């Protein structure tokens, strides 16, 4: 078994004393070398989770381990690009890349950074850049650091489809070449669906689905047929139209395909069904279970 | 050594981020030095009107000493030199609090810094060390220049405002200035981490720093026990007069507090004798108390600064991993 890129156990943190929990009882494991989509609705706790893993926040309860150690210890080996792409506005593009070299003396790779930052106007001040250009520069710094784990918060939100495709290609090449683990968050799944082989679905401060995308999809079935009992399967969502029942279920044993018309749901259908049914139990595939949980199971 | 090497990168980045502010600080420093030099040149140019080369204290062909305008205005200017340097320290503190730290926390650029291979602790250390080193170096240059500027004529009559115990001079003449620089930077860091808003942190730092400075100025004379002379003797030389009055036979101090009437003054000595005073006393700090007083004040200020720094790092560590 390969090591874990991220492992969270009962992780929780608050926004402040009054606003309650941003994340609570969060346990999962992300194996190293995966391209992981971190999806969930706005305010689900995606950014908080990434900030905790990057060591920008201290958990109020539980723990998170990154690359086998604490986030603080792993700082030189991980890159984090926050959602608002923070950069020093008064520095130029060239200065920012220079700062990247100064602040990551041990690992800085100029070529990797230039591969993404190349098309940017080198003498332009960061404050004059467009949203997309800022994203490009922020990603260039993350790549130049040559990390083992990249935590990218909404990396593609500001990019036009062409640039998105190009930068995704750079990221995938990086991952393929160096075995980098990449976590990308988004509230739009289709943005990431084609590139990611792992899925973490966060909603209401908890991880509700976690594991290989294929396994998660395979664990569910979309059933259509006459209204009747769906046991033993776990019903995520069901809809009746007249005597016709459409249900998205989590398979518990073989599905009787004489009684039902069985189709495989798309990942998007699966997530939407879970979003509409907050009471559906969480599902973590064995590789996504935190060690403490795995031992208990 | 390794920590120094590790600080080099973050410190260089801070310098590049704040190039303009550093140039402005240098300009301010040069303005200060330049004004002192200009004042001395001015006095030198006008000195022929003031003194005759015969070496006595009067102008040629005159019997009365009359300082030139150059001399009196220089004296006025330099008599607040120490205060000006403390203001410089306050400015450094406000800069550390506002643009250097709080603005990063406010605008989120700290996430950029901490996502590189620089821990939050080292990020803060670089933001404390750099202003400390630069401001201390600036003061180390300013203080001797100021000393040289004041030396234009301390042996001239009426130059009391320039004695080193004078309120506006004292903070600019010894280690106490460096203490205030350290305090300003430390308070800046603390306010920035607690308040996390640029303007709020800068103004609170200035306010707190000013409060400490005013209080220290008020209590300064108590920081070392003064010397007492009795029996009408007067202290010699450049001393710091603390208080004077009369003593009763039992040793109780009688001051002039109740000696003022509606009509104006009465004879102080007669008034105090009337209230039981038998012999006069003077409490003062002789020139030899200069260093103990400076060191005690520096010590107090440094302890306050150390507290602020400790709390600042605790706040930082409480928030981050």
Identify whether residues A60 and A88 lie together within a single domain: yes
What distance in Å separates the CA atoms of residue A27 and residue A288, rounded to the nearest whole number?
A: 9
Comparing C-alpha atoms, which of A108, A105, A165, A167 is closest to residue A135? A167
What distance in Å separates the CA atoms of residue A146 and residue B40, rounded to the nearest whole number?
A: 59
Identify whether residues A140 and A11 lie together within a single domain: yes
- Contact assignment for B111 to A86 by CB distance below 8 Å: yes
- Residue in chain A lying closest to B112 (CA): A86
Identify whether residues B137 and B160 lie together within a single domain: yes
What distance in Å separates the CA atoms of residue A244 and residue A226, rounded to the nearest whole number?
A: 5
Asked if residue B234 belongs to a domain, the reply is: no
**What are the two backbone dihedrals, phi and then psi, of residue A202, each rounded to the nearest 5 degrees?**
-105, 135
What residue numbers bound the domain in which B276 lies?
240-285
Identify whether residues B10 and B128 lie together within a single domain: yes
B39: number of Cβ within 10 Å? 19
* Chain B residues 58-117 with a CB less than 8 Å from chain A: 107-117
Length of chain A: 297
CB neighbour list of residue B165: distance below 8 Å, 6 or more residues apart: B238, B239, B240, B285, B290
What distance in Å separates the CA atoms of residue A287 and residue A203, rounded to the nearest whole number?
A: 20
Identify whether residues B217 and B305 lie together within a single domain: yes
Which pLDDT score, from 0 to 100, does residue B158 have?
66
Asked if residue B63 belongs to a domain, the reply is: yes
Identify whether residues A169 and A61 lie together within a single domain: yes
* Chain A residues 76-115 with a CB less than 8 Å from chain B: 76, 79-82, 84, 86-91, 95, 98-100, 102-107
Identify whether residues A60 and A114 lie together within a single domain: yes
Identify whether residues A178 and A238 lie together within a single domain: no
Comparing C-alpha atoms, which of A191, A185, A213 is closest to residue A48? A185
Q: Which of A54, A103, A107 sits opposite B118 (nearest CB)?
A: A103
Comparing C-alpha atoms, which of B216, B28, B276 is closest to residue B134? B28
Identify whether residues B28 and B88 lie together within a single domain: yes
Comparing C-alpha atoms, which of B27, B287, B45 is closest to residue B152? B45
Asked if residue A143 belongs to a domain, the reply is: yes
Identify whether residues A117 and A263 lie together within a single domain: no
CB neighbour list of residue B240: distance below 8 Å, 6 or more residues apart: B165, B221, B284, B285, B289
Which pLDDT score, from 0 to 100, does residue A24 have?
86
Write the CATH number for A38. Answer: 3.40.50.300
- Contact assignment for A145 to B116 by CB distance below 8 Å: yes
- Contact assignment for B114 to A55 by CB distance below 8 Å: yes
CB-CB contact of A84 with A157 (8 Å): no
Identify whether residues A55 and A185 lie together within a single domain: yes
Identify whether residues B71 and B172 lie together within a single domain: yes
On chain A, the residues whose CB falls within 8 A of the CB of B3 are: none
CB-CB contact of A288 with A216 (8 Å): no
pLDDT digits (tens, 9 = 90+) for A13-56: 887 666 778 888 889 999 999 999 999 888 888 999 999 999 98
- Tally the domains of chain A: 2
What distance in Å separates the CA atoms of residue A22 and residue A33, rounded to the nearest whole number?
A: 27
Which pLDDT score, from 0 to 100, does residue B57 have?
60
Identify whether residues B200 and B156 lie together within a single domain: yes
Asked if residue A42 belongs to a domain, the reply is: yes
Identify whether residues A31 and A162 lie together within a single domain: yes
pTM: 0.88
- Least confident range from B27-36, B152-161, B246-255: namely B152-161
User: Which pair of tokens denotes residue B144?
Assistant: 């001797």
Comparing C-alpha atoms, which of A180, A190, A187, A166 is closest to residue A38? A187
Three-state SS for chain B is CHHHHHHHHHHHHHHHHCHHHHHHHHHHHHHHHHHHHHHHHHHHHHHHHCCCCCCCCCCCCCCCCCCCHHHHHHHHHHCCHHHHHHHHHHHHHHHHHHHHHHHHHHHCHHHHHHHCCCCHHHHHHHHHHHHHHHHHHHHHHHHHHHHHHHCCCCCCCCCHHHCCCCCCCHHHCCHHHHHHHHHHHHHHHHHHHHHCCHHHHHHHHHHHHHHHHHHHHHHHHHCCCCEEEECCCCCCCCCEEEEEEEECCCCCEECCCCCCECCECCCHHHHHHHCCCCEEEEEEECHHHHHHHHHHHHHHHHHHHHHHHHHHHHHHHHHCC
Identify whether residues B271 and B295 lie together within a single domain: no
Identify whether residues A116 and A170 lie together within a single domain: yes
Asked if residue B229 belongs to a domain, the reply is: no
pLDDT digits (tens, 9 = 90+) for B52-91: 665 556 666 666 777 778 888 888 888 899 999 999 999 9
Which pLDDT score, from 0 to 100, does residue B126 have?
93
Identify whether residues B115 and B260 lie together within a single domain: no
Identify whether residues A249 and A263 lie together within a single domain: yes
pLDDT digits (tens, 9 = 90+) for A196-234: 889 999 988 889 999 998 898 888 888 888 877 777 888
CA-based torsion, A84, A89, A94, A95: positive or negative? negative
Task: Write down the residue that tokens 């003061």 correspond to.
Answer: B139
Comparing C-alpha atoms, which of A13, A5, A111, A133 is closest to residue A61? A13
What distance in Å separates the CA atoms of residue B98 and residue A255, rounded to the nearest whole number?
A: 64
DSSP A112: H
pLDDT digits (tens, 9 = 90+) for B154-194: 566 666 677 888 888 999 988 999 999 999 999 999 999 99
What residue numbers bound the domain in which A225 lies?
214-279
pLDDT digits (tens, 9 = 90+) for B112-131: 999 998 889 999 999 999 99
- Contact assignment for A54 to B119 by CB distance below 8 Å: no
Q: Which of A213, A235, A265 is the last residue of a domain?
A: A213
Asked whether the ipTM of the predicted complex exceeds the cut of 0.90, the reply is no
Average of per-residue pLDDT across B215-229:
92
Identify whether residues B6 and B29 lie together within a single domain: yes
**What are the two backbone dihedrals, phi and then psi, of residue A212, each rounded to the nearest 5 degrees?**
-65, 135
CB neighbour list of residue A160: distance below 8 Å, 6 or more residues apart: A132
Residue A1 pLDDT > 50: no
Q: Work out the percent of chain B whose per-residue pLDDT is above 90.
A: 54
Identify whether residues B218 and B271 lie together within a single domain: no
Query: What is the band of A297 on the pLDDT scale with cuts at 50, 70, 90?
Result: very low
- Tally the domains of chain B: 2
Asked if residue B262 belongs to a domain, the reply is: yes
Pairing mode, strands A220-226 and A261-263: antiparallel
Asked if residue A292 belongs to a domain, the reply is: no
Q: Is the minimum CB–CB distance between A55 and chain B shorter than 8 Å? A: yes
Identify whether residues A202 and A218 lie together within a single domain: no
Identify whether residues B163 and B305 lie together within a single domain: yes
- Least confident range from A67-71, B189-193, B301-305: namely A67-71
Q: Which of A196, A213, A230 is the last residue of a domain?
A: A213
CB-CB contact of A79 with A53 (8 Å): no
Q: Is the minimum CB–CB distance between A69 and chain B shorter than 8 Å? A: no
Average pLDDT, chain A: 87
On chain A, the residues whose CB falls within 8 A of the CB of B13 are: 99, 102-103
Asked if residue A295 belongs to a domain, the reply is: no
Average of per-residue pLDDT across B232-242:
83
Asked if residue B107 belongs to a domain, the reply is: yes
Which pLDDT score, from 0 to 100, does residue B1 have?
42
What distance in Å separates the CA atoms of residue A281 and residue B46, rounded to the nearest whole number?
A: 93
Average pLDDT, chain B: 87
Q: Which residues of B104-123 are buried (b: 16+ CB within 10 A; e: fewer)?
A: bbbeebbbbbbbbbbbbebb
Identify whether residues B60 and B79 lie together within a single domain: yes
Residue A296 pLDDT > 60: no
Task: Write down the residue that tokens 């609090």 correspond to.
Answer: B97
Identify whether residues A232 and A208 lie together within a single domain: no
Asked if residue B185 belongs to a domain, the reply is: yes
Angle between helix axes A110-117 and A161-178 (nearest 10 degrees) is 160
Asked if residue A128 belongs to a domain, the reply is: yes
User: Which pair of tokens denotes residue A64?
Assistant: 């998170």
CB neighbour list of residue A73: distance below 8 Å, 6 or more residues apart: none
Asked if residue A286 belongs to a domain, the reply is: no
What distance in Å separates the CA atoms of residue B314 and residue B307, rounded to the nearest whole number?
A: 11
Asked if residue A287 belongs to a domain, the reply is: no
Q: Which of B108, B111, B321 sits opposite A58 (nearest CB)?
A: B321
What distance in Å separates the CA atoms of residue B203 and residue B217, rounded to the nearest whole number?
A: 21
Average of per-residue pLDDT across B253-282:
78
Question: What is the CA B49 to chain-centroid distance, rounded?
Answer: 34
Which pLDDT score, from 0 to 100, does residue B101 have?
94
- Residue in chain A lying closest to B111 (CA): A86
Q: Which of B8, B108, B119 sits opposite A86 (nearest CB)?
A: B108
Which pLDDT score, from 0 to 100, does residue B34 have?
95
Task: Kindly report the nearest CA distance between residue B116 and chain A, in angstroms.
Answer: 6
Residue B253 pLDDT > 80: yes
Query: What is the band of A260 on the pLDDT scale with cuts at 50, 70, 90?
Result: confident
Asked if residue A119 belongs to a domain, the reply is: yes
What distance in Å separates the CA atoms of residue B127 and residue B312, rounded to the nearest whole number?
A: 12
Q: Which of A175, A191, A213 is the last residue of a domain?
A: A213
Which pLDDT score, from 0 to 100, does residue A279 have?
85
């Amino acid at each position: 078994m390969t090591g874990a890129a991220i492992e969270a156990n009962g992780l929780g943190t608050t926004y402040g004393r009054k606003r309650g929990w941003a994340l609570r009882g969060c346990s999962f494991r992300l194996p190293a070398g995966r391209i992981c989509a971190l999806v969930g609705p706005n305010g689900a706790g995606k950014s908080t989770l990434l900030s905790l893993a990057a060591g920008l926040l201290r958990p109020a309860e539980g723990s998170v381990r990154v690359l086998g150690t604490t986030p603080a210890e792993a700082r030189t080996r991980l890159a984090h690009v926050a959602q608002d792409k923070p950069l020093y506005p008064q520095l130029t593009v060239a200065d920012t890349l220079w700062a990247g070299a100064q602040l990551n003396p041990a690992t800085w790779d100029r070529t990797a950074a230039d591969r993404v930052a190349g098309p940017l106007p080198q003498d332009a001040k960061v404050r004059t850049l467009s949203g997309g250009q800022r994203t490009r520069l922020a990603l260039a710094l993350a790549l130049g650091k040559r990390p083992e784990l990249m935590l990218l918060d909404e990396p593609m939100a500001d990019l036009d489809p062409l640039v998105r495709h190009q930068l995704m290609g750079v990221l995938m090449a990086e991952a393929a070449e160096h075995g980098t683990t990449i976590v990308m968050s988004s509230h739009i799944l289709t943005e990431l669906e084609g590139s990611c082989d792992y899925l973490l679905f966060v909603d209401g401060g908890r991880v509700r689905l976690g594991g290989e995308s294929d396994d998660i999809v395979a664990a569910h079935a979309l059933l259509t047929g006459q209204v009747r009992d769906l046991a033993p399967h776990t019903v995520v969502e069901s809809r009746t139209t007249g005597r016709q029942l459409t249900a998205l279920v989590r398979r518990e044993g073989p599905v009787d395909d004489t009684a039902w018309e069985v189709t495989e749901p798309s990942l998007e259908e699966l997530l939407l069904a879970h979003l509409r049914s907050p009471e559906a139990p969480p599902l973590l595939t064995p590789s996504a279970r935190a060690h403490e949980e795995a031992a208990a199971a | 050594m390794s920590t120094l090497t590790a600080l080099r990168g973050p410190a260089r980045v801070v310098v590049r981020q704040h190039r303009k502010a550093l140039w402005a600080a240098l300009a301010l420093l040069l303005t200060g030095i330049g004004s002192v030099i200009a004042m001395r040149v001015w006095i030198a140019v006008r000195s022929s009107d003031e003194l005759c080369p015969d070496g006595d204290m009067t102008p040629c062909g005159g019997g009365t000493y009359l300082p030139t305008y150059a001399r009196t205005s220089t004296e006025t200017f330099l008599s607040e030199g120490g205060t000006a340097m403390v203001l410089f320290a306050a400015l450094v503190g406000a800069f550390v609090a506002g643009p250097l730290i709080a603005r990063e926390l406010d605008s989120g650029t700290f996430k950029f810094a901490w996502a590189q291979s620089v821990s939050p602790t080292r990020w803060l250390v670089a933001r404390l060390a750099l202003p400390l080193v630069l401001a201390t170096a600036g003061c180390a240059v300013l203080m001797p220049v100021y000393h040289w500027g004041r030396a234009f004529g301390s042996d001239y009559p009426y130059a009391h405002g320039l004695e080193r115990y004078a309120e506006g001079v004292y903070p600019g003449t010894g280690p106490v200035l460096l203490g205030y620089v350290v305090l300003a930077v430390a308070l800046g860091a603390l306010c920035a981490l607690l308040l996390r808003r640029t303007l709020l942190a800068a103004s609170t730092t200035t306010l707190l720093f000013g409060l400490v400075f005013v209080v220290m100025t008020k209590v300064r004379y108590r920081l070392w026990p003064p010397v007492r002379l009795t029996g009408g003797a007067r202290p010699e030389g450049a001393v710091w007069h603390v208080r004077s009055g009369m003593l009763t036979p039992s040793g109780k101090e009688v001051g002039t507090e109740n000696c003022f009437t509606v009509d104006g003054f009465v004879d102080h000595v007669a008034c105090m004798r009337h209230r039981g005073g038998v012999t006069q006393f003077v409490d003062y700090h002789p020139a030899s108390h200069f260093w103990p007083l400076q060191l005690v004040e520096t010590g107090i200020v440094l302890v306050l600064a150390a507290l602020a720094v400790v709390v600042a790092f605790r706040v930082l560590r409480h928030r981050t991993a």
